[in-house]
């Protein structure tokens, strides 16, 4: 008797694809439900800055999401929208990576990194993981 999909050892894994600004695949990673895109990027050495370390005080973790997955997310809060207004390369499916928590429905989502970021929070400081 085979293993049903509900019994798969990969049950908790959610696939997330990272692409560069030209659309080239950087890396596909597996994450857990509840993880945010910024933390996942840092965990897998993907160059998503996050200068304010997820406090919604900058736009350096700006990502452009696949439209079909963007529509599954709750609307951004006002503070996220304020920071997105300062993001480089803003699009209709832009979000701050620190504010997007993965759910099962987001399995297979693509997060595309913009060509540049505007860092008005910290000049030249690379954040360190806590």
71-102 residue pLDDT tens: 999 999 999 999 999 998 899 999 999 999 99
Cα–Cα distance list, 47 to 29, 74, 99, 100 (Å): 14, 25, 17, 17
- The pTM of the full predicted model, rounded to 2 decimals, is 0.81
Q: What value does the mean pLDDT of the chain take?
A: 86
44-62 residue pLDDT tens: 999 999 999 899 999 999 9
Sign of CA dihedral 121, 125, 128, 130: negative
Q: Is residue 128 over pLDDT 60?
A: no
Which is the CATH superfamily of the domain at 12-112? Beta-grasp domain (3.10.20.30)
Provide the β-strand partners of residue 62.
96
- Regarding predicted confidence, which is higher, 107 or 8? 107
């Amino acid at each position: 008797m085979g293993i049903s999909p509900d019994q798969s050892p990969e049950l908790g894994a959610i696939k997330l694809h990272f692409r560069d600004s030209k659309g080239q695949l950087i890396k596909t990673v597996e994450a857990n439900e509840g993880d945010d895109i910024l933390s996942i990027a840092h965990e897998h050495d993907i160059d998503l800055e996050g200068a304010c370390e997820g406090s919604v005080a900058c736009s350096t973790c700006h990502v452009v999401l696949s439209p079909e997955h963007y529509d599954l997310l709750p609307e951004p809060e006002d503070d996220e929208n304020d920071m997105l207004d300062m993001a480089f390369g803003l699009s209709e499916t832009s979000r701050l990576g620190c504010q997007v928590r993965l759910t099962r429905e987001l399995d297979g989502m693509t997060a595309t990194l913009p060509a540049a970021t505007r860092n008005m929070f910290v000049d030249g400081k690379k954040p360190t993981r806590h």
